[in-house]
Structure 1
Amino acid sequence: MQVNGKELNFILDSGVGATILFNLNPSDSLNLRNIEKIKLQGLGQEAPVDAILSRGNELSLTNIKSNNEKLYVIFNDGFDLSSKLGTTIHGIIGYELFKSFTIRINYSSRRLTFYDTAFYEYKICKNCEVFPLEFNMMKPYINVAVVLKEAPTKKVPVKLLIDSGGSDAMWLFENSHPDIVPPLNYFEDYLGEGLSGVIYGKRTMIESLQIGKFLLKNPTVSYPDSLSVAHALRFEERNGSLGASILKRFVVTFDYKNNRLLLKKGGHFNDAFRYNMSGIELVYNGKVLVKEKEAYNTLGAYGENQQASNTTVSINTNYKYTFKPTYKIYKVSPGSPAAIAGIKDGDVLIKINGKYTFNLKLEEIVHQFYQKENTKINVVIERNGIDYQYSFRLKNQLK
C-alpha cells in the first residue's frame, strides 16, 4: 500500500482495529500529519510502548483510496516482524480496510478480492456457510464450539476473535469459561510476540473444533500465559482466537458492513494439523556476500559452422559476488529435539539437509520443521566462527 505517497508493506490482520506502522527508517519519510505522542499496550508482559498518533493521512491500494486515515507509529526496535517473516514489513492494517469493502481471501491462490458491498451477492453452495459476526473494539468475533481432550464428550461454546494475522490454529484462554481448564498433556512453547513483548504458553491439541456444519478434528491449540494476554482479557466474553491455520482451510469472505462471515470449504480443509516439531524459531539475520561460480562456454577457432570433430569448446569460469540472506536461531524451546541435539539460541544456520540456507527463503526452511514425526533434519550451524553439524528427528511432544 501507499501511505502519503510512500509504498510500504502491510500485514492484513482482522485481529487489529487501528492501523499500526513500525520498522521505519529515515528513507521511509511519510510526512505524517497532525501528530501527538501516546502510549500503546499490546500483547506481552512488558510496559506500554511509546507511539505517535497521526491523523489525516492518505492510504491507497491500486484504485482504492482514502485521505483521512489515523495511523499509530511505534518505535519499539524489539517489535520486528520483518526478521521473523523474512520480508520487510512496515505495518499492520485491519479494520480500516475491512470496514469499507467485502473482502474475499483465497489462501490457496494467494489472492485478495475487494468487492463493493452494495453489489456483492452471496452464492449458496453445499460447502458454504454464512456466520454472524460480533464486534468489540473494531475486532470481529465468532461463536463456535470446541471439544477438549479433558472432556471428550462435552461441547464447550466459545467466542473467538477472528485473527487472520495469527499463524496458530487457535488460542484458548484458561479459565475464561468454567470448562476451559489447563490442559493435561502439553509442552511449554514460544507462541510469538506482541507490541508489549514475547508471548509464551502451553501448546497442545483438542479433540475437535465445530464451526457451524464444519468439523475439524485434532486441531492444535495454544494456551497463552495469562499475564501476556491480560490486555485481551479486558473483553470478558472472549475465550480465545481463531488463527490462520484454521482460516487457510477455507475461502474466507469478510462482510463487516452486514456483520457477516462466509466460509467455503477449501482444498486444504482435510490437511493434518501440524506444528513446528523442531523447537527452533528462526529469524532473518541480514545478508552476507557469497562467492559463486559463473561458468560459460566459448567456441574454439574453427567456429560453430565446422564439423563437430573440428570444433573445440572451452569452459571458462568466472566468479561473482552476490548478497544472500542469512538466518539465525532466535530461540530453541527447552526439551525440544533441537535443544536435546545441542543447538543453541543465536546459532547461525548455514545448511539444512544438505542445502545452503542462503539459497532458500525463510518459509522454505521453516516448512521443513512442520513435516511428519521422525523426519530427520541435518543442519550445519555457525557458532563463534566455527561450523558444527547436528542431526535430530522431529518429535510430536503431544503424545
Structure 2
Amino acid sequence: MMKKFFILLLLLLCDFCFLTAQSKFLIHNKHKTDKISFKLINNLVVIPVEVNGVELSFILDTGVSKPFIFNNIYDSLKIKNTEKIFIRGLGEGEPIEALKSSNNIFKIGDAIKLNQDLYAIKELGLNFAPRLGVLVNGIIGLDLFRDFIVEINYSSKFIKLTEPTYYIYKNCKRCERFNLEFYNDKPYINAQVSLKSKKIPVKLLIDSGGSDSLWLFEDDSLGIISGDNFFRDFLGHGLSGSVYGKRGKAESFSLKSFTLKKTNVAYPDANSVFFAKKVKYRNGSIAGNILKRFNIIVDYRDSLITLKKNKYFKEKFNYNKSGIELAHDGLRFVKEYEPFMYRLNIKEGNSINNKGGIKLVFDKKYKMSLKPAYAIVELRKDSPAEKAGLKKGDIIISINGKSSHLLKLQQIMTMFYGNTGKIIKLKIERNKQILNYNFKLENLLK
C-alpha cells in the first residue's frame, strides 16, 4: 500500500512540476532550441504565433512587456476570463481600453506556454496591418525574451530560441557585447551619438518594434538638439495615437567599435513621449533600421546583448522624400486582361489564297477581380506630393506606369525613398474621378 501511495504521490508531484513550469515558455524537443523563420517588413520582425490553436502573425518587439492582439481577431480566439483595463503608449491621445485575459496557450515553433496573459486592444482604428501591407495580428516581447536566449538573424531572417541552461556562447572576434539595463522590464543600451561635432553618450531603449532608425529626446543641457537642419514629419503610430516631430541626420552613431555614418535621427514632439521620458536618464530609442544591420543575441538572464555586423550594415540611410504615407484601404475591383486563342475554320475559296484550312486567332478577354487598394493616410505639409495637389484619402491607381495592385505596399513606399530629383507619376482616384499628378523627390536635409 505504501508503495502504491508513493507512486501516486510521485505522479502528482510530476504533474505539479509540469504545470508550474508551463507558467513560462518551454522548448518541447530534446535539443531545447528551435529556429523559426520570420518576415522582415519595414525593418520589423514578424513571426508566426499560434494562440489557442489559431495561427497568427506577431511583431517581435523588445519594447513591450505583455503580448496584445488587435480587436479584429478577438472573437476567433474564444478568449475567456477577461477584465477591462486601460493602457498607454506613444502618442498624444488618451489611454486606450483593453481586455486582459489569462490562461491562453501560446505556441511559437516548438516553444509552448500554457498560461499566457494576453491583452486585446478594443480600439477599432488601432491596427498596424494596413500600414505594413501584411497581416499582423499582434505584438509579443518580454515573455519570449525573458524565457529564452533569443538570436535574431536579420540577414538570414530567422530567430533561434534556446532555453538558457542549454545555451553555449561561441567565440566571436567580430562581435561586440554590451551590458543591458532594465527599467519596467524593458532593455536599455548605452551608445554614443555625434551631433554638431559633439560626441554625446546616450541611454536608449532597444525597440525592435519600431521601424525607424534612432529617436532622440531633445535636451539642451546635453546638447541633444535638432539644430536648423531638419523637417517636420509624421514619425509613426503608437498605442495612444500618431507621433509627429522633426527628422534630421546625426553625424554618426556608435555602439562601441561599430560606427554608422550620417544616421537618420528623429526628434519626437515632447507631448507624444511625455510618459516615455519619465524613465530616468533615458535619451531615446534605437529601432529596426539600425538593429537590422546586426545579427543579435539577446540574453535577459545575464543582462547581455551581442551584436555582429551583417550584410545590411553599410546600407545607406534614406528617408521618404515624397511626403506620402500609404496604407492598405480595403479592396477595389480591377479589370484584368487575359490573352486567349481560338481556332477559326476557313472554308475553301474564302481565304486570301483560296485554300481552306484553320486560322489561329489571338485575342484577349478581361475579368473583374478584387485587388488591394492603397490610400494616402498621411501627407507631409509643404512636401512635393502636397504641392503637386495630392490629398489624404486619394487611392493610388498606378505609380510610374505600374498598376498599384501588382505591387506590394512596401514596394510602392520604397519608390518614395529614391534619389533626389526622381520623377514620380501617380494616377489616383478621388471621389470616383481619375486624376494624374507628377512631382519630383526632394531632399530637405542639407
TM-score (norm 1): 0.93
- 1:4 is matched by which residue type in structure 2? N
Shift of 1:299: 6.2
Pick from 198, 215, 220: which aligns with 2:242? Answer: 198
Map of 2:40 onto structure 1: none
Whether 2:297 is the aligned partner of 1:253: answer yes
Q: Distance in 1 between matches of 2:133 and 2:63?
A: 21
TM-aligned CA distance change 1:116 to 1:293, over 3 Å? same
Match of 2:142 in 1: 95
**Could you tell me which of 133, 143, 146 is aligned with 2:190?**
143
Distance 1:298 1:180, change over 3 A: same
Distance 2:91 2:163 in 1: 37
Matched length: 389
From 49, 64, 68, the counterpart of 1:16: 64
Displacement of 1:311? 6.8
| Candidates 212, 223, 238, aligned match of 2:267 | 223
Give the 4+ runs in structure 1 shifted more than 6 A: 299-302
Aligned AA (1:228): S
Distance 2:109 2:439 in 1: 47
Aligned to 2:91: 44
SS at match of 2:405: helix
User: 1:345 corresponds to which residue?
Assistant: 392
* Secondary structure at 1:358 match in 2: helix
Root-mean-square deviation (Å):
1.9
SS in 1 for 2:272: coil
> Which one of the candidate residues 275, 279, 282 is aligned to 2:319?
275
CA contact (8 A) 1:52 1:73 kept: yes
State the partner residue of 1:264: 308
Contact 2:200 2:222 in 1 (8 A): no
Whole-Å Cα distance in 1 between the matches of residues 182 and 109 of structure 2?
28
Where does the alignment leave 5 or more consecutive residues of structure 1 unmatched? 303-308
What is the identity, as a one-letter code, of the residue corresponding to 1:3? V
Question: Given the alignment of the two structures, is residue 385 of structure 1 paired with residue 432 of structure 2, yes or no?
Answer: yes
What SS is found at the alignment partner of 1:146?
A: strand
Measured in 1, the distance between the counterparts of 2:358 and 2:221 equals 82
C-alpha separation between the residues in 1 aligned to 2:155 and 2:425?
30
- Whole-Å separation in 2 of the counterparts to 1:220 and 1:95: 27
The partner residue of 1:313 within 360, 363, 380 is 360
Q: Does 1:120 align with 2:167?
A: yes
Distance 1:289 1:107 in 2: 37
Task: Give the structure 2 partner of residue 159 of structure 1.
Answer: 203
Distance 1:192 1:243 in 2: 12
Partner of 1:333: 380
> Matched residues, percent identical?
44
Aligned to 1:306: none
Q: Secondary structure at the match of 2:225?
A: coil
Aligned-partner SS, 2:234: strand
Shift of the alpha carbon at 1:177?
Answer: 5.7
| Alignment pair present for 1:2 and 2:50 | yes
TM-score of the pair, normalised by structure 2: 0.83
**CA positional deviation for 1:392:** 1.3
Q: What's the counterpart of residue 71 of structure 1? A: 118
Which residue does the alignment assign to 1:373? 420
| Whole-angstrom CA distance in 2 between matches of 1:136 and 1:328 | 38
Query: Are residues 125 and 299 of structure 1, via their aligned partners in 2, closer, same or farther at CA, if it must alter by over 3 Å?
Result: farther
For structure 1, which segment, 309-318 or 285-294, has the greater mean C-alpha deviation from structure 2 after superposition?
A: 309-318
